[in-house]
Structure 1
Amino acid sequence: MSEELTFLTDVATHRVAFHAETTIPRSKVYGWLADFGALGQYLPDVESVELHGSGIGAIREIRLPHAGTVYERLELLIPETTVVLSMCDGGPMPFDWYVAVISLSDGPDGGCVIDWRSNWVPRGVSPDDVRGVLVDFYQTMVDGIVALER
């Protein structure tokens, strides 16, 4: 994989891109992702999710057993097509400065195409290690949404 770098202030950030296709309609996938407090319903091993505020600017406090707490902020919603979120601090994750853009489009046979891209700065591990963690994480969330819709 070629190394892609962008610059956020004076910090080199890295990227990962994840692509998935599902038979679940785009409107349903969007509904799960846009419901910022619903994460614990489709992501296993989440102890709890507490939502502070609503809509753009809402913060979700995600408690992970044996790992700690992660805070994410909802940055943008474009109905049925886009969700943008950021991590308020790295917390227990091996990266900082995390920003993700999730783009949804119609897939074949009424399904959904999910393109999940994120930028981040690794902390204490290699960029490839972070990429692996994030791709597994994204796949687990897509699998969880699919399981709920079956």
Structure 2
Amino acid sequence: MVTISRRRRYTVPAEQMWKRIGDFYALHTWVPGVADVVRVPEREARRIVLADGGELIETLVEAGECYYRYRMDEPGPIPVRNYRSALSVASDGDHACVVEWTSEFAPRGTTEAEAGEVISAFQVSGLDALTQG
């Protein structure tokens, strides 16, 4: 298994950041490369439509105050299997927070390094986008 984890500090209160990223079904509002997210009505899952037309399905596993955990059920074009991830926001003072995004997975049809690059690039693009707007 491969683990990729990114932490980034932002100069906004944790509550404000969580309002921006805490909705499991609103990934497309802050992560570049995600064109749309469609709620899967029969369970707590989302169908992610990527900008290149690829699709994948993720299921919400656990949610709490300022965090959620999810798994990827159908990876579509993403070269991983047994994917599990967590996203959280923690306060770092009155006007700052830390966002942490951790993913664990096994490569599918590629090397650990190549699969890790795909996941890392996705995390970094999302975290970078949070510094804008």
Q: TM-score, normalised by structure 2?
A: 0.86
The equivalent of 2:40 in structure 1 is: 52
CA distance in 2, matches of 1:102, 1:37: 13
SS in 2 for 1:115: strand
User: What is the aligned counterpart of 1:69 among 55, 76, 90?
Assistant: 55
Q: Structure 1: which amino acid aligns with 2:131? A: V
- Could you list the per-position Cα deviations for residues 23-68 of structure 1 after superposition, in whole angstroms to 9, with x for gaps in the alignment? 12211222233212211111223232111249xx521111123352
SS in 2 for 1:91: coil
8 Å CA contact 2:21, 2:30 repeated in 1? no
| Deviation for aligned residue 1:86 | 0.9
The equivalent of 2:64 in structure 1 is: 78
CA distance in 1, matches of 2:17, 2:115: 25
Superposition map of 1:13-32 within 5 A: 13-32=1-20
Structure 1 residue 92 and structure 2 residue 114: aligned?
no
| Uncovered stretches (5+) of structure 2, i.e. residues with no partner | none
The equivalent of 2:104 in structure 1 is: 119
Percent of paired sites with the same residue: 24
- The count of aligned residue pairs is 133
Q: Which has the higher helix share?
A: 1
Higher radius of gyration, 1 or 2: 1
* Change over 3 Å in CA distance of 1:17–1:46 after alignment to 2: closer
